[in-house]
Structure 1
Amino acid sequence: MFTNTLKTGVLLAGMGGLIVAVAGILGGGSSASLTIGVVLALVMVGGSYWFSDKLALKAGGARPITREQAPEFYDMIARLAERADLPMPTVAIADNPQPNAFATGRNPNHAVVCATQGLLSSLSRDEVEGVMAHELMHVKHRDILIGSVAAAIATAISYMAQMAMFSQMFGGRDRRDSNPVAMLAVAILAPVAATLIQMAVSRSREYEADRGAAELIGTGEPLASALEKIEVLAKQRPMAVQPAQASMYIHNPLAEARSSQGGPNMSKMFSTHPPTAERIRRLREMNPSPIV
């Protein structure tokens, strides 16, 4: 929906404004800390973005497959990609019992969509289709790029904050125009604020991929049903995933069990994924009558 796209734009703009403000405060009006922080962030996050497909496959223990190895699954992806007006992505399967899936790649021409063996064996065909439609929407919306931009800004802010703290500790006290307490507060709070915005961007893109998947297959019920099963089975079948890779999956493989009926929880603000119950509710509101 346009609301989610607008929200993402506002959040990214907010991160851009935050990095300029932090650079001005911590850099004392100088652009040196901003330049160093941005360069370091671009090198680190840019490399991860450019090689995201190879890194994700290796981290997830996944292997690319051919049509001959899994014809039904491969053909499903081909039909969905054609319907979404996308190039055929690389299709992969990870030998993991937890039902989950991810998409990665620097652009639609270098995309990878991957399902775990647990997803293929535990969910119905329609549910698998809903999940993979969601992953293809990440590719179509270029969410890997959006996430990388948000990560680069957050990383740059963290580097600037660290440099400012070192500066205060080793010689920064000689600056007459600086306020050590204020700079320390900004150095501590700025990375937290950047992380909160980065996580909000990620959650917004998950909602948008859910919406796009429901539109692609004509109903939100298969994905809603799939998320219900994944939520339960993911707690029973742990997955060894690096925290940095967890945000790629349709359901956070590292998420701890929490009540879907619980009240406000600060941990939700630092989560890369929206509450599963809320995702299911929104999907079913798009099509209240389940398809049998």
Structure 2
Amino acid sequence: MKIAFSPCPNDTFVFHALVHGIVPGAPKIDVTYADIDKTNYWAANLEGPEIMKISYAALPWVLEHYRLIPCGGALGRGCGPLVLTKEAGLASSDISRKTVAVPSDRSTAYILFRLWAKQNVPGGVGEIRILPFDEIMPAVQNGEVDAGLVIHEARFTYQTYGLAMLQDLGEWWEKDTGLPIPLGAIIAERSLDHQQLAEWVRTSVGYAWKHPNASKAYVMNHAQEMSESVAESHIDLYVNEFTRNLGEDGYSAVESLLGRAAEEGLVPEFDLRRLRV
């Protein structure tokens, strides 16, 4: 069975048991490590493996061929992307018609940013520049862009670049909707046994929680020079009960995000019922 997910600590923590043959009855797993901006397009172009971690924002492009697996992903509270600037104390209006770096134009972070900007940035932002997520903070620091949209462990490290937070988009989303933030989704080809796959993933999540130190070497081997404390914070933030079971609150969050995005033309129109079947 082939799967693609990111080398980020939350993914390696969640899938450690499945990848290492610890989940009873699960087949041997062939892993490709790839950032979510790549898997989003692999799924849309039918180029990737049968199971992938993608952004919830990319689901409208892929649901004809893939089904959402209601576990294993990243969805929660207090874990949203941040809008950063070089200068502290700026107002949202200060980035009107300015250049903003984003990690992808097909991500939850990007959708949240555009929905927030529609409400809070008079006249809208200017140029959107897509950069690898690890290049965004240096670009803001060096003045190459006026603001940057950051994800992942940047929540814990942006102060080391001397940057200031203009907006926590997760905080805005939760206040605006009362719902958690849908970030990364697990999808599988529709020909697969999705119920069985979900059971394997949930078993892997349960093992990770029961044996938190078992995956430490695997997690840190793929943590891209991240410190152990940052990796642990990353896991604590992104791996939660929604990882084990999306549930009604989770589905409602995804439906709200993608419904709003479709209304704004940020994603293609699609039948929201396909998220559940």
Q: Fold match, TM over 0.5?
A: no
TM-score for the superposition, normalised by structure 2: 0.30
Higher-Rg structure is 1
Larger % of helix: which? 1
Q: Which has the higher contact order (CA 8 A, sep 6+)?
A: 2
TM-score for the superposition, normalised by structure 1: 0.29
Larger % of strand: which? 2
